[in-house]
Structure 1
Amino acid sequence: MKVTAIIPDELIAEAMDLSKSKTITETLKIALISYNRSQKIKQLGVAVLNEPLAFKYSAQEMRDLNRE
């Protein structure tokens, strides 16, 4: 997809430096992938808060099972 965007040069330069990318396109791909991942992690955190994980075994029961 071709996109025209007005982004400050300093922001692009910093992102390129941090990502070690050689092109703006590569930098933007890395930035978008990173952003998408962080948002998915936040959503997962909210889901776990709304419905906490339930464990079937206690810590000691897990140790005992692992030793078998």
Structure 2
Amino acid sequence: MKVTAIIPDELINKVKLKSGGKNITESLIIALTEYLKEKNVDDLIDQVNEKPLVWNDQYTADGIRKINRSR
């Protein structure tokens, strides 16, 4: 998709430097991909905060060992 955007040259140069992209397009793709990865992690953290993981008390090291040995 072609997009026209007004982005300050200083910001573009910093993104190119930090991302290691060969050109502006590749640098922006790298930067946007990393941004989305971070946001996905933030979403997962929010989900865990809303509904924390609950560990089953029955699963102990000895219990797991017994399960594995009984297979």
Q: TM-score, normalised by structure 1?
A: 0.83
SS in 1 for 2:46: helix
Identity score, percent: 42
Query: Tell me, which stretches of 5 or more residues in structure 1 are unaligned?
Result: none
Runs of 4 or more above 3 Å deviation: none
Residues matched between the structures, number: 66
**Residues 5-38 of structure 1, C-alpha deviations (whole Å, 9 max, x = no match):** 0000010101101111110000110111011111
CA spacing shift, 1:5–1:54, aligned 2, 3 Å? same
Amino acid at match of 2:46: V
Query: Tell me, which stretches of 5 or more residues in structure 2 are unaligned?
Result: none
Q: CA RMSD in A?
A: 1.9
Bigger Rg over Cα: 2
Q: TM-score, normalised by structure 2?
A: 0.80
